[in-house]
Amino acid sequence: MEYGQSIKIKAPATIANMVCGFDILGFAVAEPYDEMTITLKKEPGISIVHTDDHQLPTEPNDNVAGVALQAMLSELTMPVGFDVIIHKHIKPGSGLGSSAASAAGAVVAANYLLGEVFNKESLVQFAMHGEKLASGVKHADNITPCIYGGITLIRSIFPLDIIPLQPPPLFVTIVHPQIEVKTADARSILKKQVYLKDAIKQWGNIAGLVSGLLQSDYALIGRSLEDVLIEPVRSILIPGFDEIKERSKSVGALGGGISGSGPSVFMLSRSLETAQLVEIQMKAVFQQMNLLHYTYVTTVSSNGVQLFSA
């Protein structure tokens, strides 16, 4: 541990829920990612600077990285502080784990500077304070893949039980239409109760998806990417959703759905070529609606937050 030392990190975007795995599955992608530089200070306190133009709060109590770092600092006996510089490429409100990247990136970097005193599970716990600030709920399905990389299963939040799942190569096409879907709103429209018969379908699909991922069975992954509970309700908030799904599958996508609580939509494919064809279809749907949108063609990434010398 050395006062004044700095570290740079890249914190990946993450896709929570993975269609049928509401609140339990999530995965990291290679792009987009946030960049941050964190410096360890002897003086207590956290300072946050944004070099992007997203106008996110810089007051630590109001900033997801700030509250995550405060949760970490509350476990330390020595008084230290951090200067945080954030360059955000993952657009806030995109449904791509923007807040998770800030919170996870900050605690991974801080832990490195402190000499790796906390394990990954503790880092998830700290970063979840950021999610609580961002969405009102302490969920871990973006934070966990952002820290662990790859696809992660959160079997349980209380107590936290994280299971990394080793998937076969998967290409990801993402489209982010420029509409606003607040996570809190996306949660509030969900029904508190669901039919048991629908829940059974859902857990059949989840079991199928986990089995397909662990056994590299792409056809099974595709069949299991079905959500009978959440998607029918939430997709109403995303114009063109059904058409994107249909057209993506028609050019070979395995399947996909809403990224987190939206509005981004993602599709999984077996090959880069298919993922690029999917991108064309996604663009076509939003172009005909004159809806501004961003697309990404990327992969499920085994990397979580990555460290670089500053």
Q: Does the protein bind its own copies through residue 202 (CB under 8 A)?
A: yes
E strand map for 68-160? 81-87, 151-156
- Among 237, 88, 101, CA closest to 177: 237
Which of 85/228 has CB closer to its own copies?
Answer: 228
Closest CA to 15 of 95, 102, 89: 95
Least gap, CB of 200 to its own copies (angstroms): 5
- 206 vs 297, beta carbon nearer its own copies: 206
33: exposed, middle or buried (Cβ count in 10 Å: 0-12, 13-18, 19+): buried
CB of 208 to its own copies, least distance (A): 4
Q: Quick one: 249 exposed, middle or buried, by C-beta within 10 A (0-12, 13-18, 19+)? A: middle
> CB-wise, 25 or 96, nearer to its own copies?
25
Cis peptide before 159 (omega within 30 of 0): yes
* Spatial distance between the Cα atoms of 196 and 194, rounded to a whole number of angstroms: 6
Query: In the set 132, 138, 182, 223, which binds its own copies (CB under 8 A)?
Result: 223
What's the closest the beta carbon of residue 248 comes to its own copies, in angstroms? 21
The residue among 204 and 252 lying less far from its own copies, judged by its C-beta, is 204
Annotated catalytic residue, options 14, 37, 39, 131: 131
Asked about 183 being catalytic, the answer comes back as yes
Residues 112-171 that bind its own copies (CB under 8 A): 153-156, 161, 163, 165
Cβ nearer to its own copies, comparing 207 with 289:
207
**218: helix, coil or strand?**
helix
Q: How far apart are CA 123 and CA 115, in angstroms?
A: 13
Cα gap 150→266, rounded to integer Å: 16
| In the complex, minimum distance from the CB of residue 269 to its own copies, in angstroms, rounded to a whole number | 21
Shortest approach of its own copies to residue 259 CB, angstroms? Answer: 18
Which residues contribute to the site for its own copies (CB under 8 A)? 20-25, 153-156, 161, 163, 165, 190-197, 199-211, 214-215, 220, 223-224, 229
Positions marked catalytic: 131, 183
